[in-house]
Structure 1
Amino acid sequence: MGLYRVGIDGGGTRCRAAVADADGRLLGRGISGAANILTDPETALVHIRQATEAAFKEAGLPLSDISSAYAVLGLAGNNVADAVSFIAARLPFAKAAIVSDVVIALQGALGDRDGAVASLGTGTVYCIRQAGATSMLGGHGFKVGDLGSGARLGQGLLQEVLLAHDGIQPSSSLTETVLAEFGHSPEAIIAFAHGAHPADYGRYAPSIFSAAAAHDPVAINLIRAAAYRIDQTLDAIIARGVTTLCLVGGLAPLYRPWLAERGDKVFAEPLADALTGAVALAVQGVFTATFSNQAEAVQ
């Protein structure tokens, strides 16, 4: 058996890795850039390796031990089989399981308990566990899903900037600031959008929330529309009988005041983060599990 267990949390903005011994004792952590295997698989592979090497270096372990380690990777964009196969064939580990990043978030937030998590970050995806069975909602990717995500917020902001520039919608302090960033050039915005990845749009999300706090009308409308979409999904989850719900991800604390009140008996604080969840699954030996249609195990 492999000497070490590796957990990977690969999102649309950054990739984090942790290495533990076979008993789950954490030895080291590492971090690198985005690891969305659907939008940019080659870069995702580079960042997975960089984060893993950084974790082994922090632990004082030789990098050669990576090839004998067992890993669980929670990766954004894992719901396309071709992307999973491409990544799986090129991983440096002895054995690995690739699952959705929300699956490791669920394990980190709830341990082995039943409940659900809403992962709100560059993308959005939801995961439910009931009587040991795991299912998912959303997570269909930026082009046709990820409603309420940071990427969608950023994309919506650029749309509003262009509408304001053309005199179709009123401008605001936020739209003027972003337009100035692009040199007051719609062509520059179009060129940016042509090659932009979700993380490129998602970087605007914090400024949208900041602008909303300053009563910017465009920002407020964008967040209200996004929060409505999130609330729709949370309602669908609760309708399934879920009584414990954790909000996780970088935008979770920013969204919380904008979401419908459901009481402390429904919303719960996560026990731990997604990276902790990935390590826990690796220690458990989750290398043949299937989580709904969103996960694929690799032997």
Structure 2
Amino acid sequence: MRYFLGVDGGGTGCRAMLVDAGGRLLGQGLAGPANIMSDAQAATEAIMEASLQALQGRPPAEVSACLGIAGARISGAVGWLGPRLPFGRCRVLGDGEIAVAGALGARDGIVVALGTGSLFTRQLAGAFASIGGWGPVLGDEGGGAWMGRQLLARVLRAQDGLEPETPLVRRVLQRMGGAQMVVGFARSASGADFAAQVPEILHAGDDPLAQAILAEAQAHVEAGIARLQTDPALPVIFAGRLGSLLAPRVTRWPRAEPLGSALDGALRLARAP
């Protein structure tokens, strides 16, 4: 293969990067959400859009691609997606696997991937173990979609007088046009739509509701890490859009810096024999 393509597809967006055999960057692409479990057709379209941007007219048949896609394991896309795509060689993995490849390389450790969703993966002596990543409806605790849902649900509870009406509650109700509009938004919202509410939590300072949601997210993250930890403790690496924001709250275990990003991991695996 003359070219190597890495793709990182998550619930908020899809990124692609193309390099040559020497690792020289040739092109990049960016497209919309690519959670294959939530919407297989839209995810496939986003993967191809980002990939074709990166290819810049180069023939897909000369490309060795590695795709790390949210929901790929749960949906079975690791088996059926690759043959539907035009690449000369195509490896489909879960997004957690490329996050580990990018962050750890061959090292042992635990990678906490926090973006729209959440996934906890341990690499130990070449063996992998993962928990979480069950999607925005039944799982992904501590991730962006979960935090956004928590915000809106608790705003409605405050509207009913079951929780305090904080400044954050009032801002959300004013921005969205009242409780009925909150419900209307949630009825058709995607995981990415819920995750888009997170900046309001992060910018709310010491607002009691914001702090409560962040504390709950921290508890979920710590529970996931604890489930995968060993004795002696493995270093923990935080990845994803939310990872760097929640990392300072988690201090129980040794930390390590990532070697690279999930997209770097996808490229590393695309170039592997």
Percent identity over paired residues:
38
Q: TM-score, normalization: structure 2?
A: 0.94
1:22 Cα shift?
3.0
1:116, 1:242 within 8 Å by CA — same for their partners in 2? no
1:41, 1:87 within 8 Å by CA — same for their partners in 2? no
Counterpart CA distance in 2 for 1:115 and 1:23 is 28
Correspondence for 1:187 among 177, 180, 205: 180
1:78-133 Cα distance to aligned partner (Å, 9 max, x none):
12245555533432212211111111111111112222211011100011111111
Greater than 6 Å deviation, 4+ residue runs: none
Q: Which structure 1 residue ranges, 5 or more long, are not aligned?
A: 286-299
Alignment partner, residue 153 of structure 1: 147
> Which amino acid in the other structure matches residue 26 of structure 1?
L
1:227, 1:259 within 8 Å by CA — same for their partners in 2? yes
Counterpart CA distance in 1 for 2:171 and 2:78 is 39
Correspondence for 1:197 among 176, 186, 190: 190
Correspondence 1:246 to 2:237: yes
- Count of paired positions: 273
1:84, 1:98 within 8 Å by CA — same for their partners in 2? yes
Correspondence for 1:210 among 200, 203, 213: 203
1:145 Cα shift?
1.4
Correspondence 1:277 to 2:265: yes
Correspondence 1:15 to 2:14: yes
> Which amino acid in the other structure matches residue 274 of structure 1?
A
> Which amino acid in the other structure matches residue 185 of structure 2?
F
Correspondence 1:259 to 2:247: no
Alignment partner, residue 212 of structure 2: 221
Secondary structure at the aligned position of 1:239 is classed as coil
Counterpart CA distance in 2 for 1:164 and 1:31 is 38
Alignment partner, residue 45 of structure 1: 44
1:182 Cα shift?
1.9
Correspondence for 2:131 among 124, 134, 137: 137
> Which amino acid in the other structure matches residue 196 of structure 1?
A
Q: TM-score, normalization: structure 1?
A: 0.86
Please show how residues 69-148 of structure 1 align to structure 2 within 5 Å. 69-84=63-78, 87-148=81-142
1:138, 1:145 within 8 Å by CA — same for their partners in 2? yes
Secondary structure at the aligned position of 2:73 is classed as coil
Counterpart CA distance in 2 for 1:100 and 1:220 is 31
Secondary structure at the aligned position of 1:80 is classed as helix
Secondary structure at the aligned position of 2:229 is classed as helix
Counterpart CA distance in 2 for 1:42 and 1:135 is 29
Residues 163 and 81 of structure 1: is their aligned pair in 2 closer, same or farther, counting only changes over 3 Å?
A: closer
> Which amino acid in the other structure matches residue 195 of structure 1?
S
Report the more deviating stretch, 161-170 or 151-160: 161-170
> Which amino acid in the other structure matches residue 46 of structure 1?
E
Alignment partner, residue 167 of structure 1: 161
Report the more deviating stretch, 236-245 or 198-207: 236-245
> Which amino acid in the other structure matches residue 30 of structure 1?
G
2:166, 2:207 within 8 Å by CA — same for their partners in 1? yes
